[in-house]
């Protein structure tokens, strides 16, 4: 019979079921009591019990099935093999980064309080100190007293800010402005816990005023690592005029401080020799660098710090260098989306430290900066015009000729002699690098890349010197398609 084969194995409600089955006497198989007649009342009772047991079984089965599915759904061990693999992959990809400062928010106009943004973002902001030795002349040395007119050296110190953007296997990486770190003999970084560590330059882009610096991970204490964070990067392209923003940085070198304001304008272009600005949408030069304009106070020391949206995401790199002292409420920041590829490239360059002066590499040319006036007058590309190649120098051996214009050194743009000399401080004699040139080609210039093995200062011709020298004709002139500068500086 069906009832004899039904088995209640679940531990719950077994007693109740057992009581019911004990009171129930199964039907005798046919042939056992041939002489007995069926009782109608017994049949009714039997039918009721069958119905009750069947209903109980259905209800019990439904509850058990539902519980099983719920356990499967919520259990972390119930995922399929494919999902498990995906989760493992995500975890492994995030192990190379510190915790981020991302804060949940609904949009760029988010509803976060400024204090929440500050608490979340400030662990990713650092203070940078640049120490360098510069030549100065005091009042007496100018007239030959005390130092026979020779310049004196003096250690100078400047302050700036930076943003923690990631790490690799051996270094913690921060982005800042190039003008914050240029010319540095030593760089140091102060984290949120006021611990200071020595840093080195990883890559620079003077044209975009960007630099990435690095601190060795093995020099950072576990306590400091537990308190700092990698910044969350936002989308500056989605900014709208009027949105509230927050600026964080090492203003005036006093330590991290916070100012607030709004986005006053986007896509601003700036004149290099004035504070004039214009909307790039109305400019014919689509290649001009654009900036975010804000009325949040951006003071000296804020350079390289973060401009954040109301979700706590970095949407700009503050640049106090672009702020004019003649106006109020007009600060500028480099849009993060515009320079994200540049930052990625700088993060992957070789970290370099300054080389001792007597071991630095040399090129062996005399050159002059190609200013905007010279570009317009002589139709020259921007860079360093090579007016003379020193005999026996690295430049001569590499096939560089006078009349060429140097535009890149080891993949880094150079727009003036000073930026090239700064780069050479990080390269030893004997290193081979690529030099990008613009060389004369009929009435125009064409790009050419040459490999140059840097020479040593001791092997440089004695004709080279670091002082400007005059040509016979003191006026700029153009003869046979070549530019003859009035003065040229040696680039050893």
Hey, which residues are catalytic here?
179, 209, 303
Contact 347, 201 (CB under 8 A): no
Calpha distance 321→14 (Å, rounded): 82
Query: 448 exposed, middle or buried (CB, 10 Å; 0-12, 13-18, 19+)?
Result: middle
Query: Could you give the angle at the alpha carbon of 125 between the alpha carbons of 124 and 128, nearest 5°?
Result: 135
d(C-alpha 359, C-alpha 353), whole Å: 13
* Distance of alpha carbon 101 from alpha carbon 92, whole angstroms: 19
Rounded CA-CA distance 228/249 in Å is 15
What is the DSSP code string of 169-187? SSEEEEEE-HHHHTT-SEE
Show the CA angle centred on residue 163, arms to residues 159 and 166, nearest 5°. 140
Q: Which of 129, 156, 291, 306 is nearest to 213 (CA)?
A: 129
Mutual angle of helices 14-23 and 40-74, in 10-degree steps: 160
Q: How far apart are CA 205 and CA 410, in angstroms?
A: 12
CB 447 within 8 A of CB 468: no
> First-to-last CA distance in the chain?
106
Tokens of 359: 């071991």
Cα 270-275-279 angle, rounded to 5 deg: 40
3-class DSSP state of 360: strand
| 127, burial (CB in 10 Å: exposed 0-12, middle 13-18, buried 19+) | buried
**For 323, how many CA atoms within 13 A lie in the half-sphere containing its CB?**
21
Task: Supply angle C-alpha 319, 320, 325, rounded to 5.
Answer: 145
List the one residue out of 425, 422, 354 whose CA is nearest residue 187: 354
DSSP states of 197-263 as a string?
EEEEEEEEEGGGTEEEEEEEGGGS-HHHHHH--BPPB--GGG--TT-EEEEEE-GGGS--EEEEEEE
Q: What is the rounded CA–CA span in Å between residue 253 and residue 131?
A: 13
Burial class of residue 65, CB neighbours in 10 A (0-12, 13-18, 19+): exposed
């Amino acid at each position: 019979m069906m009832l004899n084969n039904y088995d209640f194995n679940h531990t719950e409600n077994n007693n109740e079921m057992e009581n019911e089955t004990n009171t129930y006497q199964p039907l005798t198989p046919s042939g056992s009591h041939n002489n007995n007649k069926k009782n109608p009342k017994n049949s009714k009772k039997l039918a009721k019990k069958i119905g009750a047991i069947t209903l109980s079984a259905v209800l019990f089965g439904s509850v058990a099935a539902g519980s099983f599915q719920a356990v499967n759904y919520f259990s972390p061990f119930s995922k399929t093999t494919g999902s498990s693999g995906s989760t493992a992959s995500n975890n492994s990809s995030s192990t190379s980064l510190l915790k981020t400062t991302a804060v949940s928010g609904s949009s760029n106009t988010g509803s976060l309080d400024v204090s929440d943004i500050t608490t979340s973002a400030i662990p990713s902001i650092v203070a940078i100190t640049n120490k360098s030795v510069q030549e100065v002349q005091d009042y007496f040395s100018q007239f030959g007293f005390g130092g026979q007119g020779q310049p004196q050296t003096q250690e100078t110190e400047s302050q700036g800010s930076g943003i923690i953007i990631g790490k690799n296997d051996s270094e913690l990486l921060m982005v800042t402005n190039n003008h914050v770190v240029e010319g540095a003999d030593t760089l140091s970084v102060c984290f949120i816990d006021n611990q200071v560590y020595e840093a080195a330059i990883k890559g620079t882009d003077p044209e975009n005023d960007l630099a990435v610096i690095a601190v060795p991970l093995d020099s950072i204490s576990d306590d400091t690592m537990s308190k700092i964070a990698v910044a969350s990067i936002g989308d500056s392209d989605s900014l709208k005029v009027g949105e509230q923003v927050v600026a964080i940085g090492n203003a005036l070198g006093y330590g991290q401080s916070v100012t607030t304001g709004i986005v006053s304008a986007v896509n601003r272009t700036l004149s290099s020799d004035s504070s004039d600005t214009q909307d790039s949408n109305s400019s014919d030069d689509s290649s001009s660098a654009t900036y975010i304009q804000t009325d949040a106070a951006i003071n000296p020391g804020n350079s390289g710090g973060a401009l954040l949206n109301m979700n706590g995401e970095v949407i700009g790199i503050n640049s106090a260098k672009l702020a004019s002292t003649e106006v109020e409420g007009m600060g500028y920041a480099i849009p993060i989306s515009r320079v994200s590829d540049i930052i990625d490239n700088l993060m992957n360059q070789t970290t370099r430290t300054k080389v001792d002066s007597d071991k630095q590499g040399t090129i062996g040319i005399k050159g002059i900066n190609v200013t905007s006036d010279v570009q317009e007058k002589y139709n020259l590309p921007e860079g360093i015009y090579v007016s003379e190649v020193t005999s026996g120098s690295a430049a001569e051996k590499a096939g560089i000729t006078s009349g060429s214009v140097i535009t890149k050194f080891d993949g880094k743009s150079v727009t003036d002699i000073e930026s090239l000399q700064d780069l050479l401080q990080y390269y030893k004699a004997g290193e081979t690098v690529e030099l990008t040139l613009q060389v004369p080609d009929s009435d125009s210039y064409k790009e050419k890349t040459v490999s140059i093995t840097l020479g040593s200062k001791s092997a440089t011709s004695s004709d080279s010197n670091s002082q400007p020298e005059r040509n016979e004709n003191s006026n700029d002139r153009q003869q046979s398609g070549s530019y003859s500068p009035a003065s040229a500086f040696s680039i050893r």
